[in-house]
Chains A and B, each alone.
Chain A
Amino acid sequence: MSFVKTLINGTNFDHTSLNALQKVTLRPVIMSFLFYGLVALEGMIMRMVEVGRVPGNPIPEQFFHPEHFFSIMTVHPIVGIFGSTYQLVFGAFMFLVPYLTKKPLYSVKLANATWILITLGTALAWIAAFVWQYAPLYTLYWPLPADTTQFSAIGGIVFIIGIALIMFGTFGFIYNIYATIFARVGVHKDKTLKELLISGFGIDGLLNLINKLRGKPPYTKEPALALPVVAIFRGTVDTFLDAIVILGAGILVLIYLVADVTGWSLDVTAIDALLYKNFFWWGLDLVADGLVLIYVAGSWYLLATLITGQKLFMENVARAALMLELLVSWMVWSHHLLGDQGQPEMMKLISGEMVTAFELLTQGLALFITLVTLWKARPLKMTMELKYLLGGLVGFGLAVPAAIIQADMGMNRVLHNTQWIIGAHVHIALIVGLYMTLYSAVYVLWPLVTNNTKLYSHKLSNAHYWLHLIGGIGMGAFMGMAGLDGMLRRHLYVDGQFNPDMIFAAICGSMLLVAWFLFLSNVVMSVGIKGLIGIFLPAKDQTASYGIEEEIKPADDPAFAN
């Protein structure tokens, strides 16, 4: 088939054969990768600015202006975390929960509303920064987001509305997931709400462990929920709490901005900046140290079992550990405030250092269980999904210890707010750890959600893998080195003070951008432009489940069925 024909028609993809669940899975995934391209481009623009006004730097002068630069820096994490990562994770989980529980998704309409709201919200936040140059950064440190001497109040209102839409979309996802899990149909027809809750929180795994130690028979041989569903259940608790906090902060900012527009100026000192910082970081950290780590652990377990076709090693321990991870994630936010001298020392010590160090245990445990599960099943074929899974393990193997190192009162004094934090920790965790895990999931789920569509090119997949892995680790490493040399993360450098680190980081960043382009090309060539458009057309087959012989009708109100 010619290149043009393949570009239009794809390999053997037939969008009309997809059911409603498959389509509603693919839509946010496509939006996710489009936003990923935008975020990679933004990242490259900022990196090139940090390279400085040196000969040969092609970046236009306008990007060196602080308003422009920090507008990009403000939306970069919004587009990256919510527009891309949330959409990819939400899309995958809205497929996985029905697939693993063998029940239909509670509502396809709600799933559609979820990705549309998040897409619109991300676009609005981006527009607020692009048009009005609203740039308080994602940290929203009080009272900066309400500072109308520096920012347009209208821009701020548009930005907050955008964030609110994202959060409403997130609530839609949460409701859909829990309503599906608690639906008492199919294999859960005879399960009580209590049994599902006990399984969801991993208490059955803990009771199994206790009974084993006491020499008693297990509490349950077949837990009500599969382990990956337990991880989704647990992580979604943090997703909910985080959405509440972000929405709460947004409402506060909105009140001040609306008051300003109406000429009724409110006193910003009425809000304690440090207290606000605690509140905001408690919520925001539920993303970084909560749902990401829990979702990732669950994804590793799922991928390890699907790749090997074997049971997970130490499954009861894994179930119980997910509960511990949830509790730990609620108590670690103070590591973001180790540089705040007004923060009580005991909170810095207990929450910031000691409880945070527990993450080494919980994530180390997930790594151990995944590796042993893979090892016991050897020899394995080095498939794309296995390669990406190993890449994801490397990412967190690098990023989590980096986090523990910096969550220390001694180290934080010289690492806080430097490029070390955002490079060696955050970008390696996200780009290498999280995204490579997600790419592994994409390769595992691809045949299921596309009805065995052939991927266009294995070579492109491999090129994507190596460029992404080397580019991701390399960029994080050079940013980290610049951080150790004193380069701040939320600062504008226009004279290339931290070259050659920034030049090398930019080279690695461009590898990431090329990797994304190759991956997207591979996907587009596989499904074709017709198929890509077709995914967004209504599904003929309204089935909201996958892999069940007979479609099960949902209960009237499955979430609250008695």
Chain B
Amino acid sequence: MTFTNSAELLAFHWVAYSIYAAMIISVVAWFGYNLTRKDAKSVFRIPFYWYMAFLVAGGVGHHIFTYNTIPWVSEDIDRHNIKPDAVYNIEVKDHKWKLPARQIVIQCEDKVLFNVKSHDLTYGFGLFRKDGSMVMQMQVNPGSPNDILWTFNHNGIFDMTSTEYSGPHQYSEDGEDLMLVKDFVKVVGCKDGGLKK
């Protein structure tokens, strides 16, 4: 099992967490109801050490699962040893981007390095699909490296904006996001269901 983009991951996460939330609410409600009953008997006993082992397995297993199913984790950790197919240097100052091009076109499954430098404030760098869902993001701190290696496995045209608050000057008086760059990234060359043709 591998998630080829964030949309697949977030859909999985939505289902998994919703099931968990419904379960924990139901368990406590059931527990509360039985607390008031004189004849309530334990349906099952949870041995303490098994419970603790379950928590440890949950805490550690979650990270092992994501490391093995989300491709950008290992890529991110090892990004300094991976030769990117393309590098895009971006600068930002006074809430204005200095971009390499109005739109960049990326080939499917190419490894792309975005290198963003802030000259003043702490910003964010995030790509979004047309439905508003997030493709990826990173923080952009002044005075330290802000580089992210990303592999695009699905075609699409993505908008870019700052994902970190950098003061009200990011917006017009009407609330329009002045740092939003529409259609900044275009990915081509993937099959309909994702990955290279």
A binding-site residues for B, Cβ under 8 Å: 64-67, 69-70, 133, 135-137, 139, 141-144, 147, 149-151, 269, 272-274, 277, 314, 337, 339-342, 345, 349, 353-354, 357-358, 360-361, 364-365, 368, 371, 374-375, 378-382, 386-387, 390, 393-394, 397-398, 401-402, 404-405, 408-411, 413-414, 416-418, 424, 473, 477, 480-481, 484-488, 490-494, 497-498
Which residues of the partner chain B approach A365 to less than 8 Å between Cβ atoms?
52, 55
Among A137, A345, A361, A484, contact of B77 (Cβ-Cβ < 8 Å): A345
- B88 at interface by CB-CB < 8 Å: no
Chain A, residue nearest B123 (CB): A141
**CA distance in complex: A416, B138 (Å):** 9
The 8 Å CB contact of B169, one of A64, A150, A393, A424, is: A150
Q: Are A484 and B13 in contact (CB under 8 A)?
A: yes
CB-based contact A386/B35 at 8 Å: yes
B residues in contact with A380, CB < 8 Å? 35-36
In the complex the two chains form, is A144's CB within 8 Å of B6's CB? no
CB-CB under 8 A from B25, the residues of chain A are 394, 398, 473
Q: How many of chain B's residues have a CB under 8 angstroms from any CB in A?
A: 77
Q: Are B67 and A410 in contact (CB under 8 A)?
A: yes
Do A274 and B141 have beta carbons less than 8 Å apart?
Answer: yes
28 contacts between A and B (CB under 8 A): A66-B170, A135-B168, A141-B165, A144-B122, A144-B165, A147-B120, A147-B121, A150-B167, A274-B143, A339-B124, A342-B145, A354-B63, A357-B59, A361-B59, A364-B52, A386-B35, A394-B24, A394-B25, A394-B28, A413-B6, A413-B76, A413-B136, A413-B137, A417-B137, A484-B14, A486-B128, A486-B133, A494-B175
Complex: A361 Cα to B170 Cα, angstroms = 41
In Å, the complex CA distance between A314 and B77 comes to 41
Q: Which residue of chain B lies nearest to A495 when distances are taken between CB atoms in the complex?
A: B175
Residues in A with CB closer than 8 Å to B56 are 361
B21 touches A485 (CB 8 A): no
Asked if B62 contacts A357 (CB within 8 A), the reply is yes
Kindly list chain A residues whose C-beta atoms are within 8 Å of the C-beta of B182: none
Q: Are the C-beta atoms of A374 and B35 separated by less than 8 Å?
A: yes
**Closest B residue by C-beta to A339:** B139
How far, in angstroms, from A480 to B10 measured CA to CA in the complex? 11
Q: Which one of A142, A382, A417 contacts B164 once the chains associate, using CB atoms below 8 Å?
A: A417
Number of A-B pairs, beta carbon distance below 8 Å: 224
Nearest 10 interchain pairs by C-beta? A342-B144, A357-B59, A410-B70, A494-B175, A410-B66, A66-B168, A490-B165, A66-B171, A486-B133, A150-B167
Residues of chain B lying within 8 A (CB to CB) of residue A473: 25
Interface string of B153-167 (1 = CB under 8 A from A): 000000000011111
* B76 / chain A contacts, CB cutoff of 8 Å: 409, 413
Q: Which residues of A contact B28 (CB under 8 A)?
A: 390, 393-394, 397
**With a CB–CB cut-off of 8 A, which chain B residues contact A494?**
174-176
Separation of A290 and B121 alpha carbons in the complex (Å):
29
Q: Is there contact, CB below 8 Å, between B143 and A408?
A: no
Known contacts A361-B52, A368-B48; is-contact A497 B132 (Cβ 8 Å): yes
Assess whether B137 is in contact with A416, with CB atoms less than 8 Å apart: yes
B26 → chain A, closest Cβ, in Å? 10
Interface pair A411/B13, CB less than 8 Å apart: yes
New A-B contacts (18) at CB < 8 Å, excluding given A378-B38, A484-B10? A65-B173, A65-B175, A69-B175, A70-B168, A135-B168, A273-B141, A341-B139, A341-B145, A342-B146, A365-B55, A368-B48, A381-B36, A390-B32, A398-B25, A404-B59, A413-B138, A487-B132, A492-B175
